[in-house]
Amino acid sequence: MDNPSPLRVSALLGTRHPGIYGNQEGPGLELGESANLTLHQVAFWTDTEAAVKAKIATAIGAETTPGPGQAVIGKRGCAIRIEPMKYWILETIPPTLTADEGSVVELSHARTCLNIGGEKAAELLNHFLPIDLRDAAFPANAVASTALHHVAVTLWRRQPSYRLFVPRGFALSLWELLFESGLQYGVEVR
Q: Which of 51, 69, 91, 108: binder of another protein (CB under 8 A)?
A: 108
Which of the residues 13 through 32 are near another protein (CB under 8 A)? Answer: 13-14, 22-23
Q: Does 110 interact with another protein (rule: CB under 8 A)?
A: yes
Closest C-alpha to 181, from 122, 112, 124: 124
Among 67, 119, 132, 160, binds another protein (CB under 8 A): 132
Residues in contact with another protein, counted by CB under 8 A, come to a total of: 54
Question: What is the Cα–Cα distance from 179 to 80, expressed in whole angstroms?
Answer: 26
Residue whose C-alpha is closest to residue 173's, from 131, 112, 82, 109: 112
**Residue 124: half-sphere exposure toward Cβ, Cα within 13 Å:** 29
The span of 11-19, 52-60, 61-69, 72-80 binding another protein (CB under 8 A) equals 11-19
Stretch that binds another protein, among 50-58, 59-67, 130-138, 155-163 (CB under 8 A): 130-138
23 vs 115 by CB, closer to another protein: 23
Per CB under 8 A, does 53 bind another protein? no
Residue 11 or 164: the one with the smaller Cβ distance to another protein is: 11
* 65: nearest Cα among 88, 48, 46: 88
Sheet holding 161-167, edge to edge: 19-21, 187-189, 29-33, 111-117, 161-167, 151-158, 143-148
Examine residue 137 and tell whether it contacts another protein (CB under 8 A).
Answer: yes
Strands of 71-73's sheet in order across: 71-73, 78-83, 86-90, 39-44, 102-106
Per CB under 8 A, 2 contacts another protein: no
Q: Does 111 contact another protein by CB under 8 A?
A: yes
Give residues in contact with another protein (CB under 8 A): 5, 7-11, 13-14, 22-23, 36, 41, 43, 45, 85-86, 99-100, 102-103, 105-111, 123, 126-134, 137, 149-151, 167-170, 172-174, 176-177, 180-181, 183-184
